[in-house]
Amino acid sequence: MDYTRLGNSGTIVSRLCIGTWHLPGNGSFNNGIENVDEAAFSRIFKKAYDNGINFFDTSNIYHGRVEHNEDCIKCTGNSERILGNIIKEYERESLVIATKVRGPMAGFPNGEGLSRKHIMWQIRESLKRLKTDYIDLYQIHWSDNNTPHNETMKTLSHLVDLDLVRYIGSSNVSASDVIDFMNIAEKNNYEKFITMQEPYNILNRSIEESKFDVARSMGLGILAYEPLEQGILSGKYMKSSTGRISYYRDLSRRIDETSEMVIRLSEIARKLDVTMAQLAIAWILKRSEEASINIIPILGVTNENYLDENLEALNININNTYMKMIDEL
C-alpha cells in the first residue's frame, strides 16, 4: 500500500479510502432503504485493512431515512453504526475515520444544518454510533445558508479543542464558500479545513476549473468520491442492466450521455491490459501527480472481488501519451 498525508496535516493515510455511501445489500428493505449485509462488509473491511488501507469515510445520513416523525431518529445513521460495530474490533489508533454533519437527522426544527446546536448534538450521536471517543476528520456535508459561517467554524474549532475531533474538512461546498470559511478561520484563529470532498472522475472533471486553484492555494487535499461515476466507469453497464440503475432515475440518462466516451475508454483500457475500473482509479492518482494536489479516491466497494480489482490500480502508471488520449476524448 502507498501512503500519503491527509491534506496538509501530518497524519498519514492510505492512497485509497473506503467509502460507505454504498454498502453490500442483502436484498431486503426497511423504510425504502436496502438492508446491509454486515457480514459481507466486515469481510471487505478486513481485506482492505489487511492490504494496508487505514482510511474509511462515512456520514451520519448514509443508509438512513428521515420521516416526518421523531421516531425516525432510530432509522438514521446506519452506516456509522455498521462501521462502528466493525472498528471496535480493531486498534483504533491504526485507523483514520472520517464522517460528516449537515443532513437531515430528524424532522423537527434543528434536525439538520450547521448550527452550533445541531453540530453539538450530532457529534455526540456520531461518536455513539461509531463507538469511538473521537473522529479523525469531521466534514460539513454541504453548506447551510441559514447559519453564519462564523458560527459553524467556531463550533468545529471548539470540537477540536474538546478533543472530540482531530481535523475538519468540507464536502460539496462551493469554492467561494470554502474561501470564506478559510478566511474566517484565519481571522479568528479557528481550526481550518484540511480537505474538501468532491465528485471527481474521468467523466466529471468540473472541479478542475472550480476548485483546483482553491485546493492548491489553501493547501487542501481532495477526497474524490464517485471515482467510477456511479459504476459507469466500471464498464458494467456496457454489458447488462445490473447494478444500481433501478434505484437511480438519472443513471440511465447519464449512461446514454457517456456511452460513446465509455466505449473509447474501454479501448484504452484494453491497450493497457487493465480493467476500466483500474484505469479510472489510476487516472485519478496520475491527475493528483500532474496537478500537484493530494487527491485520494474514495472507493465504494460492495464485494471482495471489486476490492481486489481496485487495489491493483496502485500498480498502474498511465504514461503521458495515454493521459493525453484521455484528455482529448
**pLDDT tens profile 13-64:** 999 999 999 899 998 887 667 889 999 999 999 999 999 999 999 999 998 7
For the segment 233-260, the average pLDDT, to the nearest whole number, is: 70
pLDDT band per the 50, 70, 90 thresholds, residue 3: very high
The predicted model scores a pTM of 0.94
pLDDT band per the 50, 70, 90 thresholds, residue 248: low
Q: Per-residue pLDDT for 245 more than 90?
A: no
Predicted local confidence at residue 97, as pLDDT: 99
pLDDT digits (tens, 9 = 90+) for 270-295: 999 999 999 999 999 999 999 999 99
pLDDT band per the 50, 70, 90 thresholds, residue 65: low
Predicted local confidence at residue 68, as pLDDT: 45
pLDDT band per the 50, 70, 90 thresholds, residue 249: low
Q: Per-residue pLDDT for 88 more than 50?
A: yes
pLDDT digits (tens, 9 = 90+) for 104-139: 998 899 999 999 999 999 999 999 999 999 999 999
Q: Per-residue pLDDT for 205 more than 50?
A: yes
Predicted local confidence at residue 67, as pLDDT: 53
Q: Per-residue pLDDT for 206 more than 50?
A: yes
Q: Per-residue pLDDT for 69 more than 50?
A: no
Question: Which one has a higher pLDDT value, 68 or 220?
Answer: 220
Q: Please, what are the domains in the chain?
A: 3-234+275-318 (3.20.20.100)
Average pLDDT, the chain: 93
Three-class SS of the chain: CCEEECCCCCCEEECCEEECCCCCEEEEEECCEEEECHHHHHHHHHHHHHCCCCEEECCCCCCCCCCCCHHHHHHCCHHHHHHHHHHCCCCHHHCEEEEEECCCCCCCCCCCCCCHHHHHHHHHHHHHHHCCCCEEEEEECCCCCCCCHHHHHHHHHHHHHCCCEEEEEEECCCHHHHHHHHHHHHHHCCCCEEEEEEECECCECCHHHHCHHHHHHHCCEEEEECCCCCCHHHCHHHCCCCCCHHHCHHHHHHHHHHHHHHHHHHHHHHHHCCCHHHHHHHHHHHHHHHHCCCEEEEEECCCHHHHHHHHHHHHCCCCHHHHHHHHCC
